[in-house]
């Protein structure tokens, strides 16, 4: 699997988990497990240090980091954070513009 295929697959999953978490259908523990599973899978992807990022990949890593960095209650209740994350999700889902403030890096 290459980087772009990985990002395309995992972005769909990330969207599913975040939206499920926000609607109280997926517990935070499951979201956290998704985070760690994603990092474990990433470790098996063949990549070179010089391979360029796509915009989608940058948004994906930014959103994944936000999901892990902030505590559960802030992710649920902070309107500014949720708005930022919603912008990132919309882009990953193909429904929004590239969010200029969402610049992630590979782990």
For the chain, domain boundaries: 3-92
24: Cα separation from own chain's centroid: 18
Alpha carbon distance 75, 7 (integer Å): 22
**pLDDT tens-digit series, residues 3-12:** 999 999 999 9
**pLDDT tens-digit series, residues 83-97:** 999 999 999 999 989
3, 22, 26, 43 from 106: Cα distances, Å: 11, 25, 26, 11
The model's pTM is 0.94
Q: DSSP secondary-structure letter at 37?
A: H
> Do 34 and 13 form a contact (C-beta atoms < 8 A)?
yes
Question: Which pLDDT value is given to residue 30?
Answer: 97
> Do 19 and 63 form a contact (C-beta atoms < 8 A)?
no
**pLDDT tens-digit series, residues 22-50:** 999 999 999 999 999 999 999 999 887 78
> Do 51 and 7 form a contact (C-beta atoms < 8 A)?
no
């Amino acid at each position: 699997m290459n980087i772009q295929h990985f990002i395309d697959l995992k972005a769909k999953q990330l969207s599913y988990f975040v939206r499920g978490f926000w609607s109280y259908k997926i517990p935070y523990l499951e979201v956290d497990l998704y985070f760690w599973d994603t990092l474990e899978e990433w470790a098996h992807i063949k990549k070179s240090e010089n391979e360029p990022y796509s915009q989608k990949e940058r948004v994906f890593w930014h959103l994944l980091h936000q999901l892990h960095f902030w505590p559960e209650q802030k992710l649920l209740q902070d309107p500014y954070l949720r708005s930022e994350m919603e912008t990132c999700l919309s882009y990953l889902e193909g429904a929004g513009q590239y969010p200029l403030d969402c610049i992630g890096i590979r782990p």
